[in-house]
């Protein structure tokens, strides 16, 4: 008997989601959306964009009228990067819900505006001075404590567009080297640890949280994330309170990730969380939720943006992530990674470039001690 194959059906998707951007975050959002019955369209000029492999690829600039017209046919539009051109948002306004919306994006793509808005929402940040012209350099370093990091207000990511400074002379040089563009000078924070937490807010106002994750950076780029974070009791509750305040104050619709510096508390002092940065979307530090047994950050963003039922996304066991960033001449030991128990490989199908994020490996373990042991083995396999 010839085996029969079920005929393809022409079922309607449950919903269609548009995404501005087609990189690895859009790829993983689409991979989370498909099992929910949700189809995805990405607007992305790169012909080799990672998301083209699992979504309809509208291959055009972000401001392309025909591409944007296609997105207006979706149930909602979200994004995978914050620097969406204002023209694109203007074209979509009033024709399809864009989540998060334009006002929130205007804040989160501009460091100075973001920090001011964080403080308005009651969150604490490092000391900072906004520098938009040369006279503002005067006295700025003293005002932030004598040592700082100068960061461009716009278009900085993964440690790019930043310089450490410890004298007025260095500050002047750094500002010129960054192109004398508007910047924020932040005081240097002697943090104990770096942690992050994501919050999702549905259009109904319902709020849900991701796990508190501990992050280690290398050369300004995330190297590892670990859950649970090794932090004092009460830190996660404190991070959630801050995240809720920001989500509600900023009227978030969608998902937002906060990166924090954790300052160790004294004998009768609570540890203190300062918000370093906010990303209005899923974040590299949340990738470990893909294999953690619970809802993933990607499914959480899809659900929040489409107004589907939403709950906290909490790993069911200890887990970690190691980023695979392009390093010349040395490739990860894939056979070794495959052979290591608890690993899950995620590749983005991007061309190799030095310093480029090309994939990540998630790791799960039944307990914290096993996780730590496996994590040091895994790190040795990924240059």
Q: Considering the complex, state which of residue 16 and residue 108 has its C-beta at the smaller distance from ligand AMP.
A: 108
Q: Considering the complex, state which of residue 73 and residue 164 has its C-beta at the smaller distance from ligand AMP.
A: 164
Residues with Cβ within 8 Å of residue 34, at least 6 apart in sequence? 40, 54
How far apart are CB 277 and ligand AMP at their closest, in Å? 5
How far apart are CB 114 and ligand AMP at their closest, in Å? 11
Binding stretches for ligand AMP (CB under 6 A) = 126, 149, 159, 186, 188-189, 194, 217, 220, 259, 276-277
Sign of dihedral through CA atoms 355, 356, 359, 362? positive
How far apart are CB 194 and ligand AMP at their closest, in Å? 5
Q: Count of CB atoms within 10 A of residue 257's CB?
A: 24
Which residue number has the CB closest to ligand AMP?
A: 189
How far apart are CB 271 and ligand AMP at their closest, in Å? 16
Sign of dihedral through CA atoms 234, 265, 198, 248? positive
Q: Considering the complex, state which of residue 194 and residue 299 has its C-beta at the smaller distance from ligand AMP.
A: 194
How far apart are CB 191 and ligand AMP at their closest, in Å? 6
Q: Considering the complex, state which of residue 75 and residue 170 has its C-beta at the smaller distance from ligand AMP.
A: 170
Q: Considering the complex, state which of residue 222 and residue 382 has its C-beta at the smaller distance from ligand AMP.
A: 222
End-to-end CA distance of the chain: 52
Alpha-helix residue ranges (DSSP H) falling in the chain? 24-33, 65-72, 86-92, 102-108, 111-120, 140-143, 168-177, 235-249, 297-306, 334-339, 368-381
Q: Considering the complex, state which of residue 30 and residue 105 has its C-beta at the smaller distance from ligand AMP.
A: 105
C-alpha span between 40 and 77 (Å, rounded): 10
How far apart are CB 127 and ligand AMP at their closest, in Å? 9
C-alpha span between 87 and 73 (Å, rounded): 18
C-alpha span between 55 and 185 (Å, rounded): 40
Q: What are phi and psi of 323, to 5 degrees?
A: -80, 145
């Amino acid at each position: 008997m010839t085996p029969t194959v079920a005929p393809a059906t022409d079922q309607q998707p449950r919903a269609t989601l548009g995404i501005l951007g087609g990189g690895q975050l859009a790829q993983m959002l689409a991979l989370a959306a498909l099992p929910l019955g949700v189809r995805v369209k990405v607007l992305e000029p790169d012909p080799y964009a990672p998301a083209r492999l699992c979504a309809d690829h509208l291959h055009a600039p972000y401001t392309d009228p025909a591409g944007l017209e296609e997105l207006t046919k979706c149930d909602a539009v979200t994004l995978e990067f914050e620097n969406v051109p204002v023209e694109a948002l203007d074209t979509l306004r009033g024709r399809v819900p864009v989540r998060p919306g334009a006002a929130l994006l205007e804040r989160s793509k501009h460091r100075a505006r973001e920090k001011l808005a964080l403080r308005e929402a009651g969150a604490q940040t490092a000391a900072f001075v906004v520098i938009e012209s040369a006279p503002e350099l005067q006295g700025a370093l003293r005002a932030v404590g004598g040592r700082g990091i100068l960061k461009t207000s716009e278009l900085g990511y993964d440690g790019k567009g930043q310089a450490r400074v410890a004298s007025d002379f260095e500050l002047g040089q750094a500002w010129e080297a960054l192109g004398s563009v508007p910047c924020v000078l932040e005081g240097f924070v002697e943090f104990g640890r770096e942690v992050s937490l994501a919050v999702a807010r549905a259009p109904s106002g319902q709020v849900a949280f991701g796990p508190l994750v501990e992050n280690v950076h290398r050369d300004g780029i995330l190297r590892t994330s670990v859950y649970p974070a090794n932090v004092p009791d009460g830190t996660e509750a404190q991070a959630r309170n801050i995240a809720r305040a920001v989500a509600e104050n900023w009227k978030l619709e969608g998902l937002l990730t906060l990166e924090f510096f954790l300052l160790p508390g004294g004998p009768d002092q609570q540890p203190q969380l300062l918000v370093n940065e906010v990303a209005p979307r899923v974040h590299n530090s949340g990738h470990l939720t893909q294999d953690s047994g619970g809802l993933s950050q990607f499914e959480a963003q899809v659900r929040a943006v489409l107004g589907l039922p939403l709950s906290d996304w909490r790993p069911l066991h200890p887990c970690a992530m190691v980023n695979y960033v392009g390093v010349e001449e040395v490739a990860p030991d894939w056979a070794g990674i495959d052979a290591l128990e608890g690993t899950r490989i995620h590749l983005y199908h991007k061309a190799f470039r030095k310093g480029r994020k090309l994939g990540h490996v998630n790791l799960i373990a039944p307990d914290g001690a096993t996780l730590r042991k496996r994590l040091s083995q895994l790190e040795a396999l990924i240059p």
